[in-house]
Amino acid sequence: MKLLYLGDLVGRAGRTAAIESLPRLRRDLELDFVVVNGENAANGFGITPKICDQIYGAGADVIVLGNHAWDAREIIPHIDGEPRLIRPLNLPSGTPGRGASVYEVPGGRHILIVQVLGRIFMDPLDDPFTAAAGALAAHTLGGSVNAIFVDMHAEATSEKMAIGHYLDGKVSCVFGTHTHVPTVDHQILPGGTGYMSDVGMCGDYDSVIGMEKAEPVRRFTRKMPGAHFAPATGEATLCGIYLEIDDNTGLTTYLAPLRQGGRLDSAWPLPGESN
């Protein structure tokens, strides 16, 4: 199975880059499944049903969210009826939507998508480790499902690394999102699980994590609130990670970052290679 995950789409610049690039990426990389983090797609905060439809129409199979899941309120009545939209699993009981779901992949294969929120420097929530383990209890990697994808939406790299090792050998991959800065620690862990602390964002990197620079800099230097944050509108860098998963074992055989456009150095995976 060939899978691509695109990190947080930030504002118009990020979502436009993703929507315009996805058809080409699906074709050139011969992708079986595409996951996109869309929690910042609507003016930097949340996502709307209309934007979801645009992302699906471009070639995404599933959109995952994060701590900004509900910032665009119109998504709340929409999410229960949209099975392709995943919010964090460890939100309180009774929260609309789903935090884990199984999807069919061409060729009769199946993939389980799970997202959890970290707790370090984030809102207090249920334990993401216990929540992830609970989602896996009903599924066998390489058995009932051919792949298990886990997004750890969190601030602290230590918490992301810890859950990566906690799930090593039990899931196909654990990828971090939320900090909007791509890390260079992509690797296959000893048990065969693909890992990266943060995939990065799809957005304008001439910014402060995707936002126009002036207001964040002013707040850091003056410690006073002012204007609202607004997404930067320059050329976006598309940041993601590509991986190949063994259909029989469910473990990762190859992974590599993908970066295209904008200010960051480009990176392109070489399908068919092994790590």
At 94-153, the pLDDT tens digits run: 999 999 999 999 999 999 999 999 999 999 999 999 999 999 999 999 999 999 999 999
**The pLDDT value given to residue 129:** 98
Residue 223's pLDDT is what? 82
DSSP secondary structure string for all residues of 203-245: B-SSSBTTB-SHHHHHHHHH----SPP-B--SPPBEEEEEEEE
Q: With beta carbons less than 8 A apart as the criterion, state whether 172 and 193 touch.
A: yes
Provide the β-strand partners of residue 139.
Answer: none
Q: Which residues are catalytic?
A: 68
Work out the pLDDT band at 7, boundaries 50, 70, 90.
very high
Residue 235, token pair as written in the block: 């050329």
CA–CA distance, 217 with 55 (Å, rounded to integer): 31
Q: What integer pLDDT is reported at residue 172 of this predicted model?
A: 98
pLDDT surpassing 80 at residue 265: yes
Mean pLDDT of 16-42: 97
pLDDT tens per residue across span 50-82: 999 999 999 999 999 999 999 999 999 999 999
Query: How high is the pLDDT of residue 8?
Result: 97
Provide the pLDDT for residue 41. Answer: 97
Q: What is the mean pLDDT of residues 227-245?
A: 95
Q: Which residues 6+ apart lie within 8 Å of 183 measured at CB?
A: 157, 176, 196, 197, 198, 200
Rounded CA-CA distance 177/6 in Å is 10
Q: 3-class DSSP state for residue 161?
A: helix
At the second CATH level, the architecture of 2-260 is 4-Layer Sandwich (3.60)
pLDDT of residue 238: 98
For residue 77, give the DSSP letter: H
| Average pLDDT over all residues of the chain | 96
* Type of residue found at 227: A
- Please report which confidence band the pLDDT of residue 273 belongs to, taking 50, 70 and 90 as the band edges: confident
pLDDT (0 to 100) of residue 194:
98
Average pLDDT over residues 30-52: 97
- Give the mean model confidence (pLDDT) for residues 153-169: 98
Question: What is the pLDDT, as a whole number, of residue 275?
Answer: 79
The pLDDT value recorded for residue 44 is 94
Sign of CA dihedral 70, 71, 75, 77: positive
Q: Indicate whether 272 pLDDT > 90.
A: no
| Local confidence band at 207 (pLDDT 50, 70, 90 cut-offs) | very high
Return the pLDDT at 217.
Answer: 93
Position 190 scores a pLDDT of: 98
Q: What percent of the chain has pLDDT over 70?
A: 100
Query: How far out from the chain centre does Cα 117 lie?
Result: 12
Count of beta carbons in the 10 Å neighbourhood of residue 112: 23
Report how far residue 62's alpha carbon sits from residue 210's, in angstroms, rounded to the nearest whole number: 22
